Amino acid sequence: MRHLHRYLAAGTASMVAVLTVLCCSPGLTVASAAGAQAPATSAFNQGEVRAAEDPAVVAHGKALYGINCQACHGSDLRGGDMGGPNLLRSQVALTDKHGELIVPIIQGARAAQGMPNLGLNDEDAGAVAAYVRSVISTIGGQGAPPGQKKVLDIVVGDATRGQTYFAAHCASCHSATGDLKGIATTFHDPVQLQSRWITGGAGSAQASTATKPTVDVTVAPGERVSGELVRIDDFLVTLRRSDGTERSFARKGTVPAVVVHDPMQAHREMLSHYTDGDIHDVTAYLVTLK
């Protein structure tokens, strides 16, 4: 994204994040928020017959899944561009009976592990959980792909409203005639385009280096080593320098000073603010950028 740096300069301060925002560092160990795990006895057991789901609830949940989950967990639930795990193999999803395990996760129980709070109320989150269970029940819970993939028609928004939304929330970093010109030609499938703009491309195979977090480590007063962030946890930070070499530094509390810059922080934060309508409208607008 060649034009972006210029646009980004003004927003840099807000995107300087200190450690807490790191969803993507494999080594970051954070205690799971309480409440995600219900007692095993209340959950679905292998061999137990599943209650039939209400088709209207499942349909509602499916639409919400397409908007809120697909980018990370994939259209077939087997994992997506942005690194969400395969839900068809997820113990949580396989044993959920009525949302007791899935709903708390949708509502932020795993926020520290990179699964954002999607801001869905109990009813909507419950509907998504019902949809996930319904897919699992059609495949026998063994992680095989569902028999049929139905693609939602997702271009249902209003492009004019989307343009207004874009001007207010995206134009500080992007331009329809600049870096995003032709984005609908590059991603001609609206589903792909939608997950691209929601995630900003982070974590995907075609992600540009501009999506990768970088880190500055102040090793001595006035002496700073910077590079692409490879891994960070409470005890060690590893970075890759521009010449390709990796360097690691032991961490003890706040020493050495470590500052992570995550260019995708804005995209991640916006995720919990979009309404269904915003997402539909922005996608409808971006589809016009051929």
Question: Which residues are at the interface with ligand HEC (CB under 6 A)?
Answer: 1, 4, 11, 68-69, 71-73, 82-85, 87, 90-93, 102, 105-106, 110, 113-116, 118, 128, 132, 166, 169-170, 172-174, 180, 183, 196-197, 200-201, 208, 210-211, 263, 266-267, 270, 282
Tokens 């044993």 correspond to what residue? 95
Query: How far apart are the two ends of the chain, measured CA to CA in Å?
Result: 17
Nearer to ligand HEC by Cβ, of 157 and 200: the residue is 200
Residue 120 Cβ, how far from ligand HEC at the closest point, in Å?
6
**Which residues make Cβ contacts (< 8 Å) with residue 253, sequence separation at least 6?**
none
Residue 228 Cβ, how far from ligand HEC at the closest point, in Å?
14
Nearer to ligand HEC by Cβ, of 208 and 214: the residue is 208
Q: Is residue 231 within 8 Å of residue 29, measured between CB atoms?
A: no
Residue 238 Cβ, how far from ligand HEC at the closest point, in Å?
20
Tokens of 104: 């708390």
Residue 213 Cβ, how far from ligand HEC at the closest point, in Å?
11
**Cα-Cα-Cα-Cα dihedral of 278, 18, 208, 74, to 10°?**
-50
Nearer to ligand HEC by Cβ, of 249 and 274: the residue is 274
Residue 220 Cβ, how far from ligand HEC at the closest point, in Å?
31
Nearer to ligand HEC by Cβ, of 80 and 227: the residue is 80
In terms of residues, how long is the chain? 290
Separation CA 289–CA 195 (nearest Å): 16
**Which residues make Cβ contacts (< 8 Å) with residue 150, sequence separation at least 6?**
none
Nearer to ligand HEC by Cβ, of 43 and 249: the residue is 43
Nearer to ligand HEC by Cβ, of 249 and 266: the residue is 266
Residue 223 Cβ, how far from ligand HEC at the closest point, in Å?
28
Tokens of 157: 């928004």
Separation CA 208–CA 183 (nearest Å): 14
